[in-house]
Amino acid sequence: MVWQDWLLGSLYLTALAAPPVSLGFAWWGWARQAGFQDPKWRAIVFLSGLLASTANFVLWWGWVIWLRFHFTTESWRVRDPVSNVAIFLLFYSIVAAIAGKGRHRVLIGLSGVFAILPWIPVGIL
């Protein structure tokens, strides 16, 4: 039973730590690209996926901070629209990582997959 608690705790810690780390590396890699060339549609899709994943990160922590100060029995009225937007942003970032073109699109895909885990008890279940 102890190893199951350890495994679940490490999975949750990974779900909270992996998205900001992978987003940081993806933004760093995008900023270091050699000049801004004529944007092709796949590069635009990659950038929009990076922006969607970053918006989800800001939305998650904004919701957590808001919930800390405004928790009531009526908090579900905010939770439902926020989680719906977040799930859409995450799925879009995963699709953009698959369809986009960029050196760090794997990081965007991993960020999207790991960022779904904290939303599961909030937005999916």
What pLDDT, in 10s, does the model give residues 43-102? 888 888 989 999 999 998 888 888 888 888 877 788 888 888 998 999 999 999 998 887
Residue boundaries of the structural domains of the chain? 2-124
| DSSP codes, 4-39 | HHHHHHHHHHHHHHHHHHHHHHHHHHHHTSSS--PP
- Start-to-end Cα distance in the chain: 25
Q: For residue 79, give every residue at least 6 positions away whose Cβ sits within 8 Å of its Cβ, in sequence order, or none.
A: 63, 122, 123
Average pLDDT over residues 1-11: 70
DSSP-assigned letter for residue 40: P
Average pLDDT over residues 14-27: 80
Calpha distance 48→25 (Å, rounded): 16
What six digits make up the tokens of 24? 């940081």
Calpha distance 122→102 (Å, rounded): 31
